[in-house]
């Protein structure tokens, strides 16, 4: 599904296609693909299904061999609509499988569609570098040289409750710790706690400079913003300027926004207290209201507000992907609402759920809204200051790296 845009967005549904074996093999191993696509029955004498992560929450199910290329194909065709200029926002809500690994399924994710889409965007047309005085380069010996270009930059932003281990590990490059630049930056805003899935060495805060302790450098293009239980609108509003600081420092040409909705209030994970959007009666101050007339105001920091910031204010081509969400009626509410945000015509949160087969599941409110929870947000001011210091240092590094790269 894609959304075309000028000043007024319209929506156009593009049928997904099956990704080819070769398209999937751009990232996944052949051993993994041969198994999930039913091309092989596995090597004799080894428990291949377990080795490939196809157990527990990633069990083999009928039609898995169709599901894997279809999810990847939807995200790839959405990426292609951006690259070819057919749309400035593209949506694949079935995508966003951010735990899938090169050779393993993990966390309900069988195919690394986020990684495949980013790899496709890396091969998007080169970006012309404009000169200070004119877009036209000067004549050299009577000839006009081809304008200088650079490769496109892609920023992956992940709003799911869980750390984006599959994507972050795919693009993490330890050799970037001290110098160099990357075409891809990943930033995951997520809950982290000892033992909370997925456990990863990359899921902590970036090292922050401290007078008596020099933290080891790490790849500044692999960023993680862990949050404590109960995080909701106020905490997201507090850290959002850091997200936009990273965007400014990296200056991406494409955004891949993973919109997992399992941090919403009411999710079975019961960790996040996030709301979908709309007016929070207890916090309807001027800062919270959007600056566009005739639109329902969005509470600063809500999921709808964050997505609105990206698709309606950043002015960068954006691929919207889905993600986790274990309260199914709330997930359906969220993706319907986020689609209206992508059209820049947000539905009122008081919209009644239309009558359909699963209507009873929307009790007791039977409206679109997912209000914030009453859970206590345990992210203290002290912790948020620590986050601020760590990200300010990361942003300074990114800015410096870009200056060096573009001067070369
Ligand atoms: Zn999740």
Helices 328-342 and 303-313: crossing angle, nearest 10°? Answer: 30
Residue 140 resides in a domain: no
Structure tokens at 237: 């509003």
Residue 112 structural domain: 2-129+146-407
Q: How far is the CA of 108 from the centre of ligand 1 (A)?
A: 9
- Work out how many domains the chain is built from and give that number: 1
**pLDDT digit of tens for each residue in the chain (408 aa)?**
555 555 678 999 999 999 999 999 999 999 999 999 987 665 444 578 889 999 989 999 999 999 999 999 999 999 999 999 999 999 999 999 999 999 999 999 999 999 999 999 999 999 998 755 555 667 877 887 777 899 999 999 999 999 999 999 999 999 999 999 999 999 999 998 999 999 999 999 998 765 555 666 789 999 999 999 999 999 999 999 999 999 999 999 999 999 999 999 999 999 989 999 965 555 444 444 444 445 667 899 999 999 999 999 999 999 999 999 999 999 999 999 999 999 999 999 999 999 999 999 999 999 999 999 999 999 999 999 999 999 999 999 999 999 988 877
352-369: b (≥16 Cβ within 10 Å) or e: ebeeeeeeeebeeeeebb
Q: How far is the CA of 263 from the centre of ligand 1 (A)?
A: 8
Q: How far apart are CA 148 and CA 380, in angstroms?
A: 47
Residue 381 resides in a domain: yes
Q: How far is the CA of 322 from the centre of ligand 1 (A)?
A: 10
Residue 136 resides in a domain: no
Q: How far is the CA of 231 from the centre of ligand 1 (A)?
A: 14
Q: How far is the CA of 260 from the centre of ligand 1 (A)?
A: 6
CA 112-187-130 angle, 5° bins: 100
Q: How far apart are CA 9 and CA 5, in angstroms?
A: 4
Q: How far apart are CA 352 and CA 125, in angstroms?
A: 43
Residue 229 resides in a domain: yes
Q: How far is the CA of 149 from the centre of ligand 1 (A)?
A: 37
Residue 210 resides in a domain: yes
Q: How far is the CA of 25 from the centre of ligand 1 (A)?
A: 25
Domain with residue 69: its CATH number is 3.40.800.20
Neighbours of ion ligand 1 (CB under 5 A): 160-162, 260, 262, 324
Residue 134 resides in a domain: no
Residue 345 resides in a domain: yes
Q: How far is the CA of 164 from the centre of ligand 1 (A)?
A: 8
Residue 46 resides in a domain: yes
Query: Which residue, 232, 278, 260, 269, is CA-closest to 373?
Result: 232
Q: How far is the CA of 325 from the centre of ligand 1 (A)?
A: 7
**Model pTM?**
0.92
Q: How far is the CA of 401 from the centre of ligand 1 (A)?
A: 31
């Amino acid at each position: 599904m894609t959304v075309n845009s000028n000043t007024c967005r319209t929506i156009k549904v593009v049928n997904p296609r099956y990704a080819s074996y070769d398209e999937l093999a751009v990232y996944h191993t052949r051993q993994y693909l041969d198994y999930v696509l039913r091309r092989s029955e596995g090597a004799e004498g080894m428990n291949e299904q377990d080795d490939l992560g196809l157990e527990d929450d990633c069990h083999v199910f009928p039609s898995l061999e169709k599901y894997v290329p279809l999810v990847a194909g939807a995200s790839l065709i959405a990426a292609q609509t951006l690259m070819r200029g057919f749309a400035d926002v593209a949506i694949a809500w079935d995508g966003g499988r951010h735990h899938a690994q090169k050779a393993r399924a993990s966390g309900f994710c069988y195919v690394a569609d986020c990684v495949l889409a980013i790899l496709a965007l890396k091969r998007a047309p080169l970006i012309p570098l404009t000169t200070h005085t004119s877009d036209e380069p000067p004549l050299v010996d009577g000839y006009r040289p081809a304008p200088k270009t650079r490769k496109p930059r892609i920023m992956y932003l992940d709003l799911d409750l869980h750390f984006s281990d599959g994507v972050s590990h795919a693009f993490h490059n330890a050799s970037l710790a001290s110098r160099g630049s990357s075409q891809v930056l990943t930033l995951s805003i997520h809950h982290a706690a000892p033992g909370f899935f997925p456990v990863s060495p990359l899921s902590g805060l970036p090292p922050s400079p401290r007078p008596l302790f020099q933290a080891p450098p790490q790849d500044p293009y692999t960023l993680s913003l862990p949050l404590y239980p109960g995080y909701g609108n106020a905490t997201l509003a507090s850290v959002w300027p850091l997200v936009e600081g990273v965007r400014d420092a990296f200056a991406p040409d494409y955004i891949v926004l993973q919109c997992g909705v399992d941090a919403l209030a009411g999710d079975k994970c019961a960790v996040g207290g996030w709301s979908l959007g709309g007016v929070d009666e207890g916090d309807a101050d001027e800062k919270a209201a959007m600056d566009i007339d005739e639109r329902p105001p969005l509470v600063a920091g809500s999921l709808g507000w964050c997505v609105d910031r990206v698709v309606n204010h950043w002015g960068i081509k954006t691929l919207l992907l889905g993600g986790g969400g274990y309260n199914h009626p709330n997930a359906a509410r969220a993706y319907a609402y986020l689609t209206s945000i992508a059209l820049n015509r947000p539905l009122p949160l008081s919209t009644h759920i239309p009558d359909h087969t699963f209507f009873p599941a929307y009790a007791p409110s039977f409206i679109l809204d997912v209000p914030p929870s009453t859970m206590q947000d345990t992210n203290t001011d002290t912790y948020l200051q620590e986050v601020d210091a760590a990200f300010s240092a990361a942003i300074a590094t990114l800015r410096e790296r870009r200056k060096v790269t573009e001067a070369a």
